[in-house]
């Protein structure tokens, strides 16, 4: 028994750092101080994956039902009562896809256990969990459209420090969605005109080799930092992300923010993740135009570009809610835009959003 315990301890000592390294922001050390132990426990675990709660959804809600604040997007906190609800004779309410419903619904026709094996293996007791659609460890950019990039700071907004005494602000100037990587950032002003950045909440540091951040190199711990200028944007060690610090920052002022993707478990470039459960919705224009058979419920085609049937009644570019050509954002509300999937095809998420969607084109949703 003692030998077994020693072997288990050695295995966990090797395994946990590997898991930590494989976890993407914001679920890494940059945002979860206890890292793996934030969700897992080695002994007396309540869940079957050594989890500290009985289910993955319970763990998700332990943060996402309380976490929020002025510097955070996506409309957190999320509450169980915000989930979509179809009530007979009362219509539909809620702003989120359900995360606790049966995979095979008695009120939503055409739902089934996911065809994707990774998703299906996480349907426990016939019920959905957050982890059916989301991989809590990996923010795979290849699984999401390039428009689906999330930053905890809104681009262009000046943000007050997370900690410190100075009066300066940090602005997230730009993020290149096509090349950015999922990272959590801690930007620290080390001294007058000196800055450093960490991706693990201050365990290790990097410093720029120029005031514009043209390149970065490893720093000491605690960091010595290197020069930056308030007059020019500073490219992070991921050149796709640039920030700018305003005058007034004091030594040890810090800003914490992240760049990430929806952490999807399966590709959803054209709504294919949705179709793994809503399999009856996988219909082309030929299926719809063939006429009803009295049994099958027909849907809008997905997976095809506009005017795929060559009948000429589709517009070339979707219109906005106010009737203007979409993209001009003359209604100042990008969250009501109909976003075509990769290759310009209509997908499920062209019209639908799984989170923070109130089906009201007049409101700006927190995405």
Report, as an integer, the average pLDDT of 148-166.
Answer: 92
If asked whether residues 155 and 76 sit together in one domain, one would say no
The residue ranking higher by pLDDT, 33 or 38, is: 38
In this prediction, residue 9 carries a pLDDT of 41
Report, as an integer, the average pLDDT of 100-106.
Answer: 92
Boundary-marking domain end, from 80, 114, 133: 80
Where residue 294 falls among pLDDT bands split at 50, 70, 90?
low
Where residue 63 falls among pLDDT bands split at 50, 70, 90?
confident
The residue ranking higher by pLDDT, 54 or 234, is: 234
Where residue 302 falls among pLDDT bands split at 50, 70, 90?
very high
In this prediction, residue 298 carries a pLDDT of 80
Tell me the range of 150-159, 216-225, 329-338 where mean pLDDT is highest.
216-225
Give me the number of domains the chain comprises: 2
In this prediction, residue 68 carries a pLDDT of 65
Quote the domain boundaries for residue 65.
Answer: 2-80
In this prediction, residue 145 carries a pLDDT of 80
Does a structural domain hold residue 351?
Answer: no
Res 174 pLDDT > 50: yes
Does a structural domain hold residue 277?
Answer: no
Q: What is the mean pLDDT of the chain?
A: 87
Does a structural domain hold residue 14?
Answer: yes
Does a structural domain hold residue 294?
Answer: no
In this prediction, residue 18 carries a pLDDT of 41
Boundary-marking domain end, from 33, 61, 80: 80
SS (H, E, C) the chain: CHHHHHHHHHHHHHHHHHHHHCCCCCCCCCCCCCHHHHCECCCCCCCCCCECCCCHHHHHHHHHCCCCCCCCCCCCCCCHHHECEEECCCEEECCECCCCCECCCCCCCCCCCCCCHHHHCCCECCECCHHHHECCCCCCHHHCCCCCCEECCCCCCEECCCECCCCCCEEEEEECCCCCCCEEEEEEEEECCEEEEECCCCCCCEEECCCCCCCEEECCCCCCCEECCCCCCEECCCCCEEEEECCCCCCCCEEEEEEECCCECCCCCCCHHHHCCCHHHCCCHHHHHCCCCCCCCCCCCCCEECCCCCCCCCCCCCECCCCCECCCCCCCCHHHCCCCCCCCEECHHHHCCCCCCCCCCCCCCCC
Boundary-marking domain end, from 192, 226, 260: 260
Q: How confident is the model over 12-37, as pLDDT tens digits?
A: 444 444 444 468 999 988 888 778 88
In this prediction, residue 72 carries a pLDDT of 62
In this prediction, residue 89 carries a pLDDT of 62
Does a structural domain hold residue 95?
Answer: no
**Which of 46-55, 131-140, 176-185 is predicted least confidently?**
46-55
Report, as an integer, the average pLDDT of 67-89.
Answer: 77
The residue ranking higher by pLDDT, 83 or 290, is: 83
In this prediction, residue 221 carries a pLDDT of 95
Res 333 pLDDT > 90: no
Q: How confident is the model over 203-222, as pLDDT tens digits?
A: 999 999 999 999 999 999 99
Q: How confident is the model over 257-280, as pLDDT tens digits?
A: 999 999 999 999 888 899 999 998
Does a structural domain hold residue 18?
Answer: yes
Does a structural domain hold residue 109?
Answer: no
Report, as an integer, the average pLDDT of 25-53.
Answer: 87
- Give percent of the chain above pLDDT 90: 54
Does a structural domain hold residue 347?
Answer: no
Report, as an integer, the average pLDDT of 92-117.
Answer: 91
């Amino acid at each position: 028994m003692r030998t077994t315990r020693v072997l288990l301890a050695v295995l966990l000592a090797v395994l946990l750092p590997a898991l930590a390294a494989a976890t993407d922001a914001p679920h890494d050390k940059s945002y979860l101080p206890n890292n793996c132990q934030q969700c897992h426990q080695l002994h007396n675990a309540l869940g079957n994956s050594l989890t500290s709660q009985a289910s993955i959804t319970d763990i998700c809600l332990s943060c996402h039902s309380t976490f929020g604040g002025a510097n955070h997007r996506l409309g957190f906190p999320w509450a169980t009562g915000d989930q979509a609800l179809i009530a007979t004779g009362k219509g539909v309410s809620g702003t989120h896809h359900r995360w606790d419903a049966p995979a095979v619904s008695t009120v939503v026709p055409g739902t089934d256990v996911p065809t994707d094996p990774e998703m299906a293996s996480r349907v426990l007791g016939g019920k959905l969990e957050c982890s059916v659609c989301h991989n809590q460890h990996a923010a795979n950019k290849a699984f999401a459209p390039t428009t689906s990039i999330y930053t905890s700071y809104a681009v262009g907004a000046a943000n007050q420090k997370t900690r410190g005494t100075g009066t300066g602000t940090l602005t997230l100037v730009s993020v290149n969605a096509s090349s950015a990587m999922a990272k959590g950032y801690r930007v620290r002003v080390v001294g007058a005109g000196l800055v450093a950045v960490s991706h693990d909440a201050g365990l290790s540091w990097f410093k720029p080799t120029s005031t514009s951040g043209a390149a970065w190199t490893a720093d000491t711990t605690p960091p010595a930092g290197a020069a930056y200028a308030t007059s020019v944007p500073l490219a992070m060690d991921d050149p796709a992300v640039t920030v700018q610090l305003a005058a007034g920052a004091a030594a040890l002022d810090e800003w914490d923010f992240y760049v990430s993707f929806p952490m999807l478990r399966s590709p959803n470039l054209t709504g294919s993740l949705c179709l793994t459960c809503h399999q009856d919705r996988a219909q082309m224009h030929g299926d719809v135009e063939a006429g009803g058979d009295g049994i099958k419920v027909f849907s809008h085609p997905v997976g095809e570009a506009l005017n795929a049937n060559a009948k000429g009644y589709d517009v070339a570019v979707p219109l906005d809610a106010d009737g203007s050509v979409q993209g001009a954002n003359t209604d100042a509300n990008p969250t009501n835009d109909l976003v075509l999937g990769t290759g310009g095809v209509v997908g499920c998420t062209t019209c639908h959003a799984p989170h923070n969607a109130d089906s009201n084109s007049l409101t700006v949703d927190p995405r």
